[in-house]
Amino acid sequence: MNSKNKQQGESILSTMKPSKAIMKLAIPATIALLAKAVYNIVDTAYIGMLKDETALAAVGVTLPLLLIFVSIENIFAAGAAVLAGRQLGSNDKEGANTTVSTIVGVSVLIGIVLCVTGIIFMEPLLKLFGASSRVLPMAKDYAFWMFIAAIANIPAQSLNCAARAESSVKITSIAVIIGAVLNIILDPIFMFEKGFGLGVAGASIATTISQFITAIILFWYYLSGRSIVKLKLKSMKPSTKLFKTVMVIGIPTAVVQICLAVSTSLTNMAAATLPESDLIIAAYGVVQRLVLIGHYVILGFMQGYQPVASYSFGAKNEERFHESEKFALKSTILLTILVSVTYIALAKPLIRLFNQNPSVIEYGSKLLISQLAIYPAFGICYLMTIIFQSIGAARYGVFLSALRQGILYIPFILLLPRFFGVWGIYLTQPIADILTLVVCLLSYKTMKRITSNNIKELT
């Protein structure tokens, strides 16, 4: 990146009107994430073409694995993004170089460890996530290549977040979109008889190849010297202080995904005790991948908001921090309502895109409506988590991140299906969402007070 582009990136974070800066960063980030969602949706759509509910259920039980990977990515990647954003805001570019270089190096090692241990313990993990004896063989075929992909995904996510911290979202969009398009092309080649005929495993292989290409593009960008933050071997300086700071910041975001993985697993386990369990799990797998698209819309917006908030906090600009926070809150409410209304209105047609079985369509449409009925709770809770991350209030951020899909969801999913069957599954998410909204609204004043106090301490 030349000097002019570096100055432009910094001006977005420091002087551009907050609402404009957020949208300038959020739009390409959202496009990139939606392209990433294509990996899951395309796989699920092509697997639906196999006309085998067992195959759909197999992919459904691997979703917790995906969410666990994302949570591990976020512990380091999201933490590094916020810390590097603060360092850039306080003009500590060398500190940002050290943060990003060290975390990317650690991410490579973590990816390798996840791959090896995941393959070793794959079968008991899949059984834990609700795989029946009929579903398990296909689930193993799909999950094996997911573990291989971890070698590329973990460091790629760290690089993606580093680009966010310096407002270089264009390269992340390019990398992810190229990977998504490649996945669309490779899926039918690897899956169907006219190609390699590998079925479910073929879908996972295609995705893995595409994700490695995305990682290669991101590494090329950083190693070519085009970025504001530099990726250098000599800047890798592992230290207890760095890891502690990054993990304290990153854990709240990771906890969101961990709780989602746990809640998904428990929902699969609850469904496994009901009549037509494989059909319910197949429907739930489709629903969760559709819901991920909605999550990515919100997450993309947050990826535009987070660097502006972190930079403003690091620069001790409280007025700019609160201006960006107010815009983010209004936008989050609007976006979540739009996602909710769209999914509820199109529930049955959306499920029908992936499977024609009337039972899967019926279960899936009701599950989709229940997941999105009070969707603003997700957006507001996630926004509050990021705000508390950015202002250094990590403990409360952890609490909020565990709230919706953990503290509130888990007790209800353990109890309600026992008494109300599948309706217990339908009711769990709306109840958890209502309680989440109440807690978030009560937390708003606390957030403002902590922001003012922490900025004063930095001055």
Which residues have a Cβ under 8 Å from the Cβ of 156 and sit 6 or more positions away? 175, 211, 214, 215, 218
What pLDDT shows up at residue 1? 45
Q: Cα angle at 71 between 69 and 73, to 5 degrees?
A: 70
**What's the rounded Cα separation, in Å, for the pair 290 and 343?**
9
Burial class (CB in 10 A: 0-12, 13-18, 19+), 7: exposed
Distance CA 210, CA 212 (A): 5
User: Among positive and negative, which fits the CA dihedral 328, 332, 333, 335?
Assistant: positive
Residues 156 and 143: their CA atoms lie apart, in Å, by 19
| Neighbour-count burial of 449, counting CB atoms closer than 10 A to its CB (0-12 exposed, 13-18 middle, 19+ buried) | exposed
Q: How is residue 178 written in tokens? A: 């190229």
For 318, residues 6+ apart whose C-beta sits below 8 A from its C-beta are 312, 451, 452, 455
Amino acid at 386: I
Residue spans per domain, the chain: 15-458
Alpha-carbon separation of residue 59 from 77, 354, 370 (angstroms)? 26, 12, 21
- For residues 9 and 231, the answer to whether their CB atoms sit within 8 Å is no
Each residue of 158-186: b (16+ CB within 10 Å) or e? bbbbbbbbbbbbebbbbbbbbbbebbbeb
Token digits for 370? 């229940």
The rounded distance, in Å, linking the Cα atoms of 28 and 395 is 31
Tokens of 103: 């975390």
DSSP secondary structure letters along 332-358 = HHHHHHHHHHHHHHTHHHHHHTT---H
Cβ 213 vs Cβ 178: under 8 Å:
yes
| Residue-level pLDDT at 367 | 97
For residues 141 and 198, give the distance between their C-alpha atoms in angstroms, rounded to a whole number: 9
Tens of each residue's pLDDT in the chain, 459 residues: 445 555 555 567 778 899 999 998 888 778 777 876 777 788 788 888 888 888 888 888 888 888 788 778 778 877 887 788 778 877 888 998 999 999 999 999 999 999 999 999 999 999 988 888 899 999 999 999 999 999 999 999 888 877 876 767 778 888 888 998 999 999 999 999 999 999 999 999 999 999 999 999 999 998 888 888 888 889 899 999 899 888 877 777 778 878 888 999 999 999 999 998 989 999 998 998 899 889 888 988 987 898 888 888 888 888 899 899 999 999 999 999 999 999 999 999 999 988 889 999 999 999 999 999 999 999 999 999 888 878 878 788 889 889 999 999 999 999 999 999 999 999 999 999 999 999 998 888 888 888 877 777 765
* pTM for the structure as a whole: 0.76
Q: What pLDDT was estimated at residue 11?
A: 62
